[in-house]
Amino acid sequence: MRARSRFAVANILLAAGLVSGRALAVLTSTIAWITLHRRRSLWRWFATRPGGAFETLHRIAVTQIARQVFKAGILLGAEAAVLRRVRCRGIDRLPAGGCVIAVSHTPWGRVLARWSLACGFALVLGHPRWAWWAGSSHLSASVAGIRRAVIALRRGRRVAVVVDDFVQRGGCAAEFLGRSTRVSKRGVCLAVLAGVPIVAATVRYARGRIVVHLDAPRRTGAARQERDALSRMLLRDVEREVTRRPEAWQDLFEFFGNGDQVQPGLSS
């Protein structure tokens, strides 16, 4: 009974934080709209979004404040209330064996890492900063970590990998939001090494819920051209989502802030 009461209180506080955040988002988006004029390339891009620059900035502000509310909820012991707000659509599309889950730099990475750990959805291959959030499901993005990931995939596990990491060397040439860059092929190469398909995951936020949408599995051959083609295809999927919903990509401001040359290691 006490646990149920604590959960109810945590859920109420979480809801109150999200509602208050929507009010605060009006102020923060107004300030962002005023200062955005100083960054011409970003302003031009925002001005072409559906609803205009202010509406786009407001959606981003709502998302970022909700992100901090959920993060605080987990850190303050309300993890169950936060994770209950995660939904996953398209589970029936997942292959019977292992697969690589292709994700982008979503604002909800921390919450989803905890959710994945709690329900055993997938291992997380990523930077050491994800170790606390992903817990025992974390795999370091190192040679040893990739070997462990390949073994896990061959044993039927799922491994989540970001597919919008931009690199200065290696990877493959690609276009993203009107700019030339190079994107890492880690996720695709991992799928080829393990002989498993890759499943793209799109993450959206609405009405206090985080919803993960899973796409149909895709496979590619080992040839370089085939790996490059699939890497670019996955990046185009991210680009389409960011174009429609700029708030869905955590690295938007960093991407435009780096000038014509996109730097690796953008925030997650």
Question: Residue 214 belongs to what H/E stretch?
Answer: strand 209-214
Q: List the single range of 28-32, 64-68, 138-142 with lowest mean pLDDT.
A: 28-32
pLDDT band of residue 42 (cuts 50, 70, 90) is confident
Cα dihedral across residues 120, 123, 124, 129: positive or negative: positive
Number of C-beta neighbours around residue 89 at 10 A: 13
Answer whether residue 101 shows pLDDT above 60: yes
Q: How confident is the model at residue 13 (pLDDT cuts 50, 70, 90)?
A: low
**Ranges of each domain in the chain:** 2-81, 86-257
Q: Are 177 and 255 in contact, with CB atoms under 8 Å apart? A: yes
What pLDDT score does 263 carry?
A: 37
Q: What is the average per-residue pLDDT within 243-266?
A: 70
Report which of residues 219 and 19 the model is more confident about: 219
pLDDT-above-70 percentage for the chain: 90
The whole-number pLDDT of residue 266 equals 34
The model's pTM = 0.87
Measured distance between the N- and C-terminal CA atoms of the chain, rounded to whole angstroms: 38
- Average pLDDT value for residue range 179-207: 95
Per-residue tokens: 92? 């029936």
Average predicted confidence (pLDDT) for the chain: 87
**Is the CB of residue 116 less than 8 Å from the CB of residue 133?**
no
Mean pLDDT, to the nearest integer, of 19-44? 75
What pLDDT is attached to residue 264?
A: 36
Please determine, for residue 67, whether its predicted confidence score (pLDDT) is greater than 80: yes
Which residues are bridge partners to 180 per DSSP? 175
Look up residue 255 and give its amino acid: F
What's residue 41's pLDDT? 74
Instruction: Tell me if residue 164 falls in helix, strand or coil.
Output: coil
Scored b (16 or more CB within 10 A) or e, 142-180 reads eeebbebbbebbeeebbbbbbbbbbbeeebbebebbebe
Confidence band for 262, pLDDT divided at 50, 70 and 90: very low
3-state secondary structure of 183: strand
3-state secondary structure at position 40: helix
